[in-house]
Structure 1
Amino acid sequence: MISTRLITCILIWVSLPFSLAVTAQTAVSVPKKIADSQTELRKFLKSTITKADSFEDRFDAEVWLVDMSGRLTPFIKDPRQRLELLRAVHREASKADLKPDLVLALIEIESRFDNYAISSAGAQGLMQVMPFWKKEIGRPDDNLTDINTNLSYGCRILQFYLQKEKGNWMHALARYNGSYGKYWYPERVMDAWRKRWFVNET
C-alpha cells in the first residue's frame, strides 16, 4: 500500500518546473568517433557534464517515481531522499541515453546507494568515480560525493564506453569497472537489474 506521505512527496516533486538545474552548464555535441583513450574520455566528459530535467510528462514521472521509490526503499528509508535521488538518476541517465533502471542496478553494485562511499582504490560516491577525472577535465572543485555531480560523471563515463562497445552492455560495464575481458562485474550488475530494477517498456 503506497503511503500518503510518499504520494504527497511525489506530487510536490513532479509539480516543480522541469527546467530547474543545480548548476548551469553549456552543452557540446558528443564526438561521432571516440577513441579508446583517456584523452578522448577526458574530452568527452568535459563536453557533456550538463544539467537538464528528463521528465516530459507529469503522469509518466509520477508512475516511474512511485514504482522505483518502492524498489529503492530497502536502501534509502526517507521518501524525500529517495525521490531526490530518483529524479537525479532519471535526469542524468536520460541525458546520456542510458536506461535509468540499469544505472540504478550499477549504483546498487558500486555503492549500495551510499553517496559517501569510497573504495580502496579511491573511487568516490554513488557510481564510484575516480577523482583524477576532475582535474583531467578542468573541474578540480567538483565534489564527487554530491549526488548530481557524481551521477553526471558516472553516466557520461558509462555512455562513453557503451558507444565504444557499440551498445554491448557487458563489454561497456566491464570497461567501466576496469575489468575488460572479464565478466564477473557486468554479470553482477545485470543480475541486480533483472532481480530488482528491470522495467518492461513494451
Structure 2
Amino acid sequence: MALRSALLMLLLALALPATASLRQAPEPELRDLLQRTVAEADSFQDRFDAEVWLLDMSTRLTRYMPDASERLTLLRLVHREASKAGLKPDMVLALIHAESHFDRFAISSVGAQGLMQVMPFWKAELGRPQDNLTDNATNLRYGCTILSYYLKRENGDIQRALARYNGSLGKTRYPAKVIGFWQDFWYVKP
C-alpha cells in the first residue's frame, strides 16, 4: 500500500505544470479530489488502476477542461459507461474529442447534442422525451450503447462502426479522425 501511495504521489508530481518543482507535494486539494473520485469509480477492477488511469487522462484532458473536479467527474462517467458497453474508455474519449471537443452543450448542424453528439430522435424511439442529452451521464449512456451496438453489428470493425455512428458509412474521413485522436492522444498502452 505504501508503494502504491508513493507511486501515486510521483504521478501527481509529474502531472503538475512544468514550472512546479518535482520535490513539491501535489496540491492537497487535487490529491483529495482524486482520492474521492477513485473511491467513487465503480467500473475499475483495482483501485491502483483507477488512480493511474484517472490521473493520466485528467492530465491529458486539462487543456479542454480546466476544472479538475469537472474533469474527474467526466472521466469517471466515461470509464463507467464505456466499460458497461464493452468499449475502451480511451476510444470513447477520442470520439468525444472528434464529436464535441468536450463541449457538453455542443449541437451539430443536424441537431446532434452533447459530448457524443447523440441525435434527439433516440429519445422518442425509447419513449424517454424527458431525457436531457446535454447531461453527461445521459449522453454517455446513449452514445456508448449506440457505438457498442454498431461495433457488434460490424463484427468488431472499428472503422465501419464509427462510420455508422456518424452516419457516414462508406466514407473514411470521420473514422480516420476519431482513430487519429485515439492513436495520437488518448490511447493507453496495456
Class of the TM-score when normalised by the shorter of the 2 chains: 0.7 to 0.9
Q: Does 1:171 align with 2:160?
A: yes
In structure 2, how many angstroms separate the alpha carbons of the residues matched to 1:180 and 1:174? 5
Larger radius of gyration: 2
Within 5 A, what are the aligned runs for 1:52-91? Answer: 53-91=42-80
1:83-126 alpha-carbon deviations (Å, 9 max, x no partner): 00000000000000000000000000000000000011000000
1:94 to 83, 89, 95: 83
Is 1:136 matched with 2:136? no
Is 1:9 aligned to residue 33 of structure 2? yes
Structure 2 unaligned regions, length at least 5: 1-13, 16-25
The question of 1:108 aligning with 2:132 is answered no
The structure 1 segments of at least 4 consecutive aligned residues displaced by more than 4 Å after TM superposition are none
1:127 corresponding residue in structure 2: 116
Shift of 1:138: 1.2
Alpha-carbon distance, 1:13 to partner: 1.3
Within 1, Cα distance between the matches of 2:130 and 2:71? 26
TM-score normalised according to structure 2 size: 0.85
The AA in structure 2 aligned to 1:122 is G
How many pairs does the alignment contain?
166
Report the counterpart of residue 117 of structure 1 in structure 2.
106
Structure that is richer in helix per residue? 2
Distance 1:15 1:105 in 2: 25
Q: State percent identity of aligned pairs.
A: 61
Mapped partners of 2:122, 2:158: distance in 1: 22
Q: CA deviation at 1:15?
A: 2.2
**Higher RCO (C-alpha 8 Å, min separation 6):** 1
SS in 1 for 2:114: coil
CA distance in 1, matches of 2:165, 2:94: 14
Unaligned runs of 5+ in 1: 19-52
SS in 2 for 1:195: helix
* Distance in 2 between residues matched to 1:139 and 1:196, nearest whole Å: 35
